[in-house]
Structure 1
Amino acid sequence: MDATIYHNPACGTSRNTLALIRAAGIEPTVVEYLQEPPTREQLVAMIADAGLTVREAIREKGTPYVDLGLDNPDLTDEQLLDAMVATPILINRPFVVTPLGTRLARPS
């Protein structure tokens, strides 16, 4: 099975998810998204395919979420996506994309 994980090796949940995928006998394509962020179009597709809202796909902990004013409930999805594309650490992780679907693997 083809699988892609948008991975941050510094994240325990991301490391655990990668280990689970490999334990299932699948060697996924590993995209270290902080060095190789998804395009805006890819990000929009992953969020939609996972059945999430844009706000649900934002990582708050350990990011400049509050410093950038992203906690403002009046921000639009477009503004939130702009921030995620400009600052990829704001993308929650790990996203896993397979032919069966896309999931934000939290918890792993």
Structure 2
Amino acid sequence: MADDSLRILHHTACSTSRHAVDAARAAGAEPEVVQYLKTPLTRPEILDLLRILQDAPADLVRKDKYFKEQGLDPDAHTTPEQVADVLVQHPRLMERPVLIRGDRAIIGRPKDRAERFLRET
């Protein structure tokens, strides 16, 4: 992830994720859009992402209805290793969108956060 190309970990059904892709294109970038549910990240890829993520590792895990249905405990998914393990097992729990450029990554939620990241990089 050393280059300055823009990657967006995207979920097509998510309006916030679609907004990030549209905002990138409006800013003149043509991002590499990775549909992480079709092409799940490996554990090493998730750990690499967590090393550059400007958010807490636990923030990358959605604590939604599905999370609760799996009997998962938010307090047990806070370290990079724990987060990587749960996301490998349940890719749909990845918070989205994730914008990656160079050695920086953010969760693009709320929507204006993605726009700020695009302007800063």
**TM-score (ref. length: structure 2):** 0.77
The residue type paired with residue 17 of structure 2 is: S
Match of 2:72 in 1: 70
In terms of fraction of residues, the more helix-rich structure is: 2
Once the two structures are superposed, the pairs formed by residues 10-29 of structure 1 within 5 Å of their partners are 10-29=13-32
What value does the CA root-mean-square deviation take over the aligned residues?
1.9
C-alpha contact (below 8 Å) 1:59/1:92 kept by paired residues: yes
CA apart distance, 1:25 = 0.6
Structure 1: runs of 5 or more not aligned: none
Once the two structures are superposed, the pairs formed by residues 1-108 of structure 1 within 5 Å of their partners are 2-62=5-65, 64-74=66-76, 77=79, 78-99=81-102, 101-108=104-111
C-alpha contact (below 8 Å) 1:70/1:80 kept by paired residues: no
Structure 2: runs of 5 or more not aligned: 112-121
* Other structure's SS at 1:73 match: helix
**TM-score (ref. length: structure 1):** 0.86
Give identity over the alignment, percent. 33
